[in-house]
Each structure stands twice: as structure tokens, then as C-alpha cells.
Amino acid sequence: MHKFTFGKLILGVAVVLTTLGLLRYKPWAKNGAATARDVIHEGVNKKATRELTVGYLPVTCHLTCPVTDFASKTTQTNTNFNSRVFSDFPTVVSALEAKQVQATFMIVPLAMKLREQGVPVKICYLGHRDGSQVIVGKNSKIRSLKDLKGKKMAIPSLYSNQNFVIHKMMDEYGMEPDDIEFIILPPPDMPTSLASSAIDAYFVGEPFCAKAELDGIGRVLYYARDIWPNFISCALVVHEDLIQQNPGVVEDLVRGIAESGAWAETHRAEAAKLASPYFRQDEKVLNYVLTSNPKRVSYLQLTPADEDLQHIQDQGIKLKLLTKNIPMNELIDREFVPQVITPAPIDEAWIPAIK
């Protein structure tokens, strides 16, 4: 009798705790509630009456996502944006398809592939320009692309513009597609894989290129801007359901991303300090990326242009990774881009000191 009563008590406690957890995190919510791990900053904004969770990876072409998160909480905006960090793009795709997030930063060719497969997404803004490099071992004898023949190179995805661009370069060098062995790795794993000699090179967005340099394990072989001027890696991708059902939220989001880019362009050291806890990375690495050479990363001219995206799509079709020539008006939605973009009104006093 006592065992039965105790068992019922334990079961009751478990049910209560589970119910409280469900009520707290609301995993069924369509906008993808941020977890406690994702909440980096709480501010003073009392005006916001709605919120949206936006996905990102800890790469500088997604930096405007945490900046927008921060700005929405420390200024009087209509919408609070909670940035949710991911470590790889397959997980981002799964979350977007399941509508756990309805807005996320994503590599542009992957967004094109999703649209091709019938997932109703639109590219509403770009992440940044340039900001990717080809990295090889610091003491490696590799001096040109041809030296990578028979070597292993890591890329973030087959559907990354890094993959598209490097194959374009290989073609220009007269190399065969299988002259280099490509390995898919999450960006955070690339520097350690290079250090352990598991790979010979990698092509990815910052700050994982700078990290290899600062750790003394890698050097830049090529800057993306020298291979493909005004290189584009990622874009803000929004589910059409959100665009149709909550256009005001999307307007707030795109404006916030645009203003965050304008702020980051002229407040580079401050942007590194702000993003560091969101990225869970050393501020020194981000600061090096953003301040050592302004041409390394640019947050200007981020309204998606038909010509830029058409070049990417054409290369994807040539590689047979994309199969359809999707009209740009089906792929891009520029309706929410503000006509005048001013830097986000971020009070630097609110940026927390790194502990």
C-alpha cells in the first residue's frame, strides 16, 4: 500500500514538472521559442508586444542577428527578437521546415534548393559581403589552388557559395571536379580539424578563419573577395507563412537587420564585444576579424540584387546541385527593405562587459 502511494506521488511530481516545463518553453509555438541557453541579454524595452525567434550560426555573416536581438531589447522597438544559435546548416533546415523557426540566416544556395524543393521561403536581406577565406596550415607548402590536388578541403555544405565559388575557380585553373576531396564540416569544427591534420584546407566564413590565424595553426591562401568580388555567403531567409500572416513583424525584422548592419559597419570593435557572448567566442577573435582590415568583412550594399543571386544560381545549375532556374521575383522579397537605412540606436553602455 505504501509503495503504491509513493509511486503515485513520484508520478504526480513528474507530471507537474513536465507540465510546467511545457508551459515555460512552449515547444509547439510556431515562431520557435528561444531556450534559456539562447537568451543572452534582457533589456529595458517595455514597448514590444510581440516576439520572434530568428536562427543563426556563430559566423560573421550572421552577426546582424544577435545585434538585432540586442537592439530590440535595449531600444523601444515593436518586436523583441530572440536569436537562436545553431551549429550546422542541416539542423537549421530541419527547424525551418518544421517551422520551429520561421526566419533564419542561411547560405544562399541552400535557400535556393529549399525553394526548388517546394519549401516556401524568400530571401529578404543579405548577411554581409566578403568575409570568407580559404585557409591552409600555417607551415603548409600549399601556395596555390593547384597544390590542393589530392588534398582534403572542408566546406560548410555542398549548397554553400563557398563550394560553388571554389569549383568555379577549379574550372578556371583547368582542374577536374574530383581533384580535391571535399568534406562537409560544421564551421566551428574546421580549425581543430586543420590542427589535427584531418583536413588540409577549409573555405568558410569568419571568424573561423581568423581563429586559425590567431591560434598559429593556419594562414589565408585566398580571400573570397579576390576570387569573387562582393562575395555573398548568407542571407536572411523568411518563411512565406510569416510574411503573409505577420508582415509587420517581418518589416520590423528586416529593418532591424539592415540597421544592425549599418551600425556594425561603423562600430566594429563594439560589434565584436556585443556579439561575443552570443557567438560564445573570444572577443579578440571577432575584434580581429572586424577591425584588422575593414575590407575583410563589409556590412554595406546588403539589399539582395537579382544579378548577384542569378550568378549563384547559374553556378549551382552548372554543378548540377540546383536543377531549376527559379525566377528572382519568386526567390527574393525586397518589399520590407527600408528606403533609408540608419545605424541602429544602440547605447554602448548597455553592452555587457566580457566576464
Chain segment 181-209, per-residue pLDDT in tens: 999 999 999 999 999 999 999 999 999 99
CA distance 269 to 111: 31
Eight-class DSSP state of 181: E
Q: How confident is the model at residue 14 (pLDDT cuts 50, 70, 90)?
A: very low
Q: Kindly report the pTM of this predicted structure.
A: 0.86
Strands 129-130 and 201-205: unpaired
Residue 88 has pLDDT above 50, yes or no: yes
Tens-digit pLDDT profile for residues 104-156: 999 999 999 999 999 999 999 999 999 999 999 999 999 999 999 999 999 99
Q: Which residues in 60-93 are b (16+ Cβ under 10 Å) and which e?
A: bbbbbbbbbbbbbbbbebbbbbbbbbbebbeebb
Residue 214 has pLDDT above 90, yes or no: yes
- Which pLDDT score is estimated for 21? 38
Phi, psi (rounded to 5 degrees) for 113: -65, -40
CA distance 272 to 288: 9
CA distance 245 to 285: 40
CA distance 352 to 226: 36
CA distance 336 to 302: 13
Cα separation of the two ends of the chain: 54
Q: In whole angstroms, how far apart are CA 156 and each of 59, 85, 182, 208, 248?
A: 11, 16, 10, 11, 33
